[in-house]
Structure 1
Amino acid sequence: MRLAFWAPIIFVLLWSTGFVGAKFGLPYAEPFTFLWVRMLIVAGLLSALAGVLRSAWPRGWALNLHIGVSGLLLHAGYLGGVFFAISRGMPAGLAALIVGLQPILTALLAQPLLRERVSAVQWAGLLLGFGGVGLVVGEKALSARILHIEPSAFVAIVLALLSTTLGTLYQKRFAAQMPLIGGTVVQYLAAAAGLFVLSLLFRETMQIRWTPQFILAMAWLVLVLSVGAILLLMYLIRNNSASRVASLFYLVPPATALEAYVLFGERLGVLALLGMGLTALGVALVVRR
């Protein structure tokens, strides 16, 4: 019961640091190279953990195939799109706003695909949450003087939005009962393979400057995001409806704004504070029993 209560809160706090890690690490490595190296490191660490804990591994080609597909969507598609968009000039806040559409898109698709019922109150919460995210990130976007964003960044971030939405639904439909650690290893290996292919297709040099800043960013993204947060996400998907899990992502941009205020002294205006309040209310309406 305690894990069920704290898991969503911890997940949001951890997941919100991903944009910060990307900002610190991307100057020293190309996006897809950065990510496939990260995926391999995480897969190795989790494999060792599975051996120590004697965790179960997914059995059967069908289950492993489903797990691999969900890994490609949740990790390669989502993270690849976000990192590529940021590397092409998109501010992290604007990227967070666009992928913040995920809860509404997930709720729309969960009805026909998973036969999950979304009540009127939950729809109101989803809309309130999206409005709150818009206020938080919109204030930051409006404060920027000039945004030099390549058109490919918008294509990438939309693909990231579609990938994380479909990945959540696919995971819930076909792989929700996968062994937690072993299944996550399979997901990361599939994602590493997909990202490596993308690095070849985009003719990346695959050169990494292993500066202290990059090593710190990689360590944080591997241990905190790819291990801690993803295991929590798999736990949440297994034990909650897809729309309820997706609603948690509404809290990520406001949490990122708070972290930027604490770490970098970025000031929060009235609109941002109002947006965070609306977001919290919206999520409360969606996840209420």
Structure 2
Amino acid sequence: MDGFSAGRAAMPGIFVLLWSTGFIGAKFGLPYAEPFSFLSIRFTLTLLLLVPLVLVMRIPWPSPLALWGHIALSGILVHGIYLGGVFYGIYLGMPAGLAALLVGLQPLLTAACAGPLLGEHLSKRQWLGLVLGLVGICLVLGSKLEIGDALFAGFGGQALLCVFAALLGISLGTLYQKRYCTHMPLLSGTIIQYIGASVLLGGGAMLFETRQIEWSSTFIITLGWLVLVLSIAAILLLMALIKKGEASRVASLFYLVPPVTALQAWWLFDERLPLIGIAGMVIALAGVLIVVRSTKKTAPAD
């Protein structure tokens, strides 16, 4: 295998590795800014870079104009509620690795919702994956349960609700985008999604936060990483993968995000799970993998 082929083969794994650092970036940056304010700045800077890029590359904008509303709404769900919920959950004390695992159950919830919303029926293997995912997440949460003043070790029920809202947002957003935004140009469509998310998060910052930022070197570096690497480089890499026909491979590797995040959080922040929690993570990820692979097998051919 030559260098070019090796680089191409590594691209999906690199994408997943980059994506997993978003949870770590939240952990690094949130001591210096409140969640909605943090994300509003991130999206504003991203838009300032992406819009000129789209214009220079002459990438077409979505058409017809009515599609813009669907794309903006999908952005509110996929970026606004998803990232807002994750960042607020971590801000309230949830470990980054656990947040990644909870929202990593998105394929399970999406499969469960696809029946009533899209008329898709679950196979026996998909039901098995859903049950395994539920058992696994109960083991992980149970391993963090404390009898005492706090509901969970280091974080309360509000953090859990925030991350479950993020899970619901990314799941419903995925289904909505699949139904209404299938043919949107990825990069220009992403700009419209970021605009929709910015309106939601900017409003949240204005209503519920002090909007005070501590411009430390750690915050600036973290913000730069999230803007340049996550919001731009990862999106461009995804575009390249889709162009090369590797999108399905990326989707199948997404289940690796939670354990990769957990390893990074353990190394950087000493976040630990007891043995039963680790077992629960493995079971939950196995459930996700079963659902993802079963969905591929039952999907109709193009």
TM-score range for the pair, normalised by the shorter chain length: 0.7 to 0.9
| Residue 69 (str. 1) matches residue 103 (str. 2) | no
Going from structure 1 to structure 2, the CA distance change for 1:36 and 1:73 (only over 3 Å counts) comes to same
Gap runs ≥5 in structure 1: none
Which one of 157, 165, 171 corresponds to residue 165 of structure 1? 171
| Equivalent pair of 1:184/1:231 in contact (CA under 8 Å) | no
Going from structure 1 to structure 2, the CA distance change for 1:154 and 1:233 (only over 3 Å counts) comes to farther
Which one of 4, 16, 19 corresponds to residue 20 of structure 2? 16
Q: CA RMSD in A?
A: 3.5
Give, in whole Å, the separation in 2 of the partners of 1:125 and 1:4: 30
Q: Which has the larger radius of gyration?
A: 2
Give, in whole Å, the separation in 2 of the partners of 1:257 and 1:132: 15
| Aligned-residue offset at 1:226 | 1.7
Could you tell which deviates more after superposition, 191-200 or 279-288?
A: 279-288
Q: Partner residue of 1:191? A: 197
Could you tell which deviates more after superposition, 145-154 or 29-38?
A: 145-154
Give, in whole Å, the separation in 1 of the partners of 2:43 and 2:49: 10
After the TM superposition, which residues 257-268 of structure 1 pair with which residues of structure 2 at under 5 Å, given as runs? 257-264=262-269
Going from structure 1 to structure 2, the CA distance change for 1:230 and 1:114 (only over 3 Å counts) comes to farther
Going from structure 1 to structure 2, the CA distance change for 1:31 and 1:265 (only over 3 Å counts) comes to closer
| Aligned-residue offset at 1:274 | 4.2
After the TM superposition, which residues 132-143 of structure 1 pair with which residues of structure 2 at under 5 Å, given as runs? 132=136, 139=143, 141=144
Gap runs ≥5 in structure 2: 298-302
TM-score, normalised via structure 2 length: 0.78
After the TM superposition, which residues 200-279 of structure 1 pair with which residues of structure 2 at under 5 Å, given as runs? 200-202=206-208, 204-230=209-235, 245=251, 250-264=255-269, 270-271=275-276, 274-275=279-280, 277-278=282-283
Which amino acid in the other structure matches residue 113 of structure 1?
Answer: L
Matched pairs, number: 283
Identity of aligned residues (%): 53
Could you tell which deviates more after superposition, 2-11 or 149-158?
A: 2-11
SS at match of 1:176: coil
Query: How big is each residue's C-alpha offset from its partner over 1:188-233, in whole Å with a ceiling of 9 and x where there is no partner?
Result: 111111111111111x222212211001111121122222344566
| Equivalent pair of 1:110/1:169 in contact (CA under 8 Å) | yes
TM-score, normalised via structure 1 length: 0.81
| Aligned-residue offset at 1:255 | 1.5
Which amino acid in the other structure matches residue 258 of structure 1?
Answer: L
Which one of 84, 101, 118 corresponds to residue 122 of structure 2? 118
| Residue 26 (str. 1) matches residue 35 (str. 2) | no
SS at match of 1:35: helix
Which one of 44, 48, 59 corresponds to residue 44 of structure 1? 48
SS at match of 1:155: helix
Give, in whole Å, the separation in 2 of the partners of 1:159 and 1:213: 28
